[in-house]
Chain A
Amino acid sequence: MKLKLTVLMLSAMLAAPAAGRCAVLPAEEVGCASEDMQVLYYYLAPEPGKDLKERATKCHGSKTTLTMPGWLEAALPAMRERKVWKDPDGEQLSEAQLWQTAFSILYELAATTQKTLPVPEGGAGLPISALETQYNDMRLRFIMSVDRIARAGLESSFDGRGTAMLYTMNSVMERLDGMTSAITKPDRDTFDRNAAGALKLTRDLFSQVFEAPRAAPAGKFKLKYTPEARILPGYRGVSLKVAGSQAMFLESGERADVLVTFDAVMGSGSKEKVTATILQNVSIVKVFRPASPSGSGVVQLLCNPNEAQYAALSFAQANNIIIVRRAPDDTELRPMEIASLRKLFK
């Protein structure tokens, strides 16, 4: 009898941490978020299966069957037909395809999060650090997919639900930033809280399809939450020490040009101070501002590998590095002639 009691107590103690995690990130919610996104994705597919119109579910309270809304059924042919986006490779994508991309990433998010759950909960017990690359990749693809929907102007899509859905997805971005930041520490509790939030929003996104359109700001969708500026695959984060005055008004996420002044050897062999715009339209990832402009600041720039070399060369060679800010939508690159006082006063 005593032995049995001890065994029971031990099992309860062993189960305790998992139970704590499940309270924040319940396995059922993870599974249901995954199911919701799968259904939404297949609603938009070119040939949705017949069983999709009336689908058995255990994820929607007392409802045992999920019926595709009539308005959606009526709107789908046009959504599948209307080409609203041209990819750089020339492929034209329909309104339905643009939404499908975002929904498929949210499905992937739920399925990946499932792997982090304990084995008894149907997960694989994987530590979050093992999935760092996948989560970062999903984050980036999701941001790009939402950006594409917004740029295609699909606010009125889903029979007037587009704007509200975009705002929900914008909130998912914030949760994704929280999840990926938590992985780097790693802070499992923060990760779980953000994952639970992202999946709750995912489920809310699905439920919007079954409700009347929600009230949302009129006009063009604008991000309420701006995703953190981070280093993108194929690019490098280049830290440059600059005068404190240069760092004072720069903000993470802005775009800038980098100007360097150095002594150039001219044709006659003489040296002349010239200034060149060495990098154009580079993103600012991070900024360190000193307490006063007389101190040293640091700017981390997002450069491709070749630009990174020129940034390093500028740092070693230049007398002066100046970072100039661009307007938010100004991404134009222009050929620039080097500035020299001699040329000016000729």
Chain B
Amino acid sequence: MKTIIAMLIAVVFLAAGPAFSAGETAGGNKEAQQLYVTGLKYFQAGNYEKAGAEWRSASVLDPQNPDVKQGLERLRQLTKTDTPSGAAQGAEQPDKAEAAPSYVVVKGYRGTTLPVGGDQALYLKKGDRVDVLVTFDAKMQDKGKPERKEKITATILQNVVVLNVRRPEKVDDLGAVELLLNPVEAQYAALSIAQGDIHIVLRAVGDVELHPMEMASFRKLIQ
């Protein structure tokens, strides 16, 4: 079980992997490349402000660096605002009317919709970061004993962005949450829908930390 979780967490870490390969840039400026790699780490941890700061510094040193250009463009798409002074760009421009960042599906990612209870959708909004917990019947076997089924809960996805929320009129009715997931995460989300009960838990603003998590089981708790 732990192996599965470790693998899933690795999947989260690899979220931005295919689009960014640190070793392949043609830019000759080593310092800019170092800044790019630092920014990439922030990006993968979801800290777009710091990623943007590193990549903008890299862009000053090496304006033609294709990785930096691509990174900044991706950041622009990810936290695109209606004003030119977007958060991701951090551009020091004269004030314009504030606009809510528009959360959209970015290249390489998927907008994945999960059906959730109205109670789950009640306090969620666009741009929130959440974890996805799934409760399912696992086949367990203790030494010398017959196989049994046990309900367990696992944190299957961590630190994912909410793209859209549909709140039903009543909390007893079904709602929907669209999450920004990479293709592998999208598969696991789909499996979770088919296999178990989904619970979405909300993170604090700015909390992008990933934790290795052991699954929860009543049997383990009660023993």
Contacts and interface: CB of A to CB of B under 8 A. Distances in A.
Please say whether chains A and B are actual partners in one complex: yes
Interface of A: 17-18, 21, 116-120, 123-130, 132-133, 136-137, 184-188, 191, 230-241, 262, 264, 276, 278, 286, 288, 290, 295-298, 300, 303, 305-306, 308-313, 315-317, 338
B75 to A, nearest CB: 12
A108 to B, nearest CB: 15
Contact of A127 (B81, B196, B211): B81
Given A118-B94, A125-B93, A308 B133 contact: yes
Contacts of A235: 204
A305 B216 contact: no
7 contacts: A118-B94, A119-B94, A125-B95, A236-B203, A239-B200, A312-B133, A312-B153
Given A17-B96, A264-B218, A308-B131, 11 more contacts: A127-B99, A132-B205, A237-B203, A276-B221, A296-B170, A306-B213, A306-B214, A306-B216, A310-B153, A316-B151, A317-B218
B197 interface: yes
A231 B117 contact: no
Given A233-B204, A239-B122, A309 B87 contact: no
Contact of B172 (A120, A276, A296, A310): A296
A325 to B, nearest CB: 20
B183 interface: no
Given A262-B218, A288-B171, A126 B94 contact: no
B143 to A, nearest CB: 16
A21 B95 contact: yes
Nearest to A240: B119
Contact of B202 (A186, A236, A315): A236
A185 B87 CA distance: 14
Contact of B204 (A136, A296, A303): A136
A305 B123 contact: no
A295 B171 CA distance: 9
Contacts of A187: 98
A299 B19 CA distance: 40
A340 B197 CA distance: 27
A231 B122 CA distance: 15
Interface string B141-174: 0000000000111110000000000000011100
A306 B114 CA distance: 22
A237 B202 contact: yes
B92 A124 contact: yes
B217 interface: yes
Nearest to A230: B204
Interface of B: 49, 81, 83, 85-88, 90-101, 117, 119-120, 122-123, 125, 131, 133, 135, 151-155, 170-172, 196-197, 199-207, 209, 211, 213-218, 221-222
A145 B8 CA distance: 38
Contact of B133 (A127, A188, A309): A309
Contact of B92 (A125, A129, A184, A311): A125
A115 to B, nearest CB: 9
Contact of B100 (A185, A230, A276): A185
A294 B27 CA distance: 66
A186 B81 CA distance: 12
Contact of A136 (B85, B151, B152, B206): B206
Given A185-B100, A316-B197, A309 B203 contact: no
B40 to A, nearest CB: 19
Contact of A298 (B93, B101, B122, B133): B122
Contacts of B96: 17
A338 B131 CA distance: 29
A184 to B, nearest CB: 8
B94 A133 contact: no
Given A234-B207, A238-B201, A264-B218, A296 B94 contact: no
A188 B171 contact: no
B217 A313 contact: yes
A125 B215 contact: no
A57 to B, nearest CB: 28
Nearest 7 CB-CB pairings of A with B: A133-B206, A130-B87, A237-B202, A309-B216, A312-B199, A316-B135, A241-B119
Nearest to B214: A306
Contacts of B125: 184
Contacts of A133: 49, 205-206
A132 B125 CA distance: 15
Contacts of A185: 100
A186 B222 contact: no
